[in-house]
Amino acid sequence: MQAYIALGSNLDSPFEQVQGAVNDIAIDERINLLRCSNWYQSKAIGPGEQADYINGVVCVNTTMTPLELLDYLQTIEQQHGRVRKERWGARTLDLDILLYDDLTCDDDRLTIPHPRMNERAFVMTPLNDIAPTLKLPCGESVSNVSQQLTQSGLQFYALGQPS
């Protein structure tokens, strides 16, 4: 199954956090890392004053179920010192499953497709780097949705590459 995973960090050397997470994702034998977007710096969305985020997206093939993948990603977040204090608070690492093949899922632990991805340039711009023609559940391509979003507060940070 093909999955798209968003990565973000705004604490403790954010670029190193997301780069390390890409490596950690690819370590598992049930995952084949296919593509990694460029990295972008974005303004934080959330409570209080927060440092800017570094964001990107990876595409993987996996034999994991969506919940197994979620558990694996949450383990990686914990290994990177993620503490869940407040919604949209600062974090060392945030890993979100955006899409998992054509699957839709809406339960207490996981919603696929990610419910707010189409509204966020910091998700859609890196997704556009690696899958511009991908059709989203809304029927539009990633490229079309990305172009409709304001890029205000989003800056290119570094070239992405599978490690």
CA dihedral 5, 90, 14, 101 (to 10 degrees): 0
Identify whether 116 is a catalytic site residue. no
Identify whether 82 is a catalytic site residue. yes
Instruction: Select which of 94, 101, 107, 109 is catalytic.
Output: 94
Instruction: Select which of 28, 30, 87, 91 is catalytic.
Output: 91
Identify whether 129 is a catalytic site residue. no
Distance separating alpha carbons of residues 113 and 155, to the nearest angstrom: 25
Identify whether 109 is a catalytic site residue. no
Q: Is 158 left (phi over 0), alpha (psi -120 to 50) or beta?
A: beta
CB atoms within 10 A of CB 147: 14
Active site (catalytic) residues = 82, 91, 94, 96
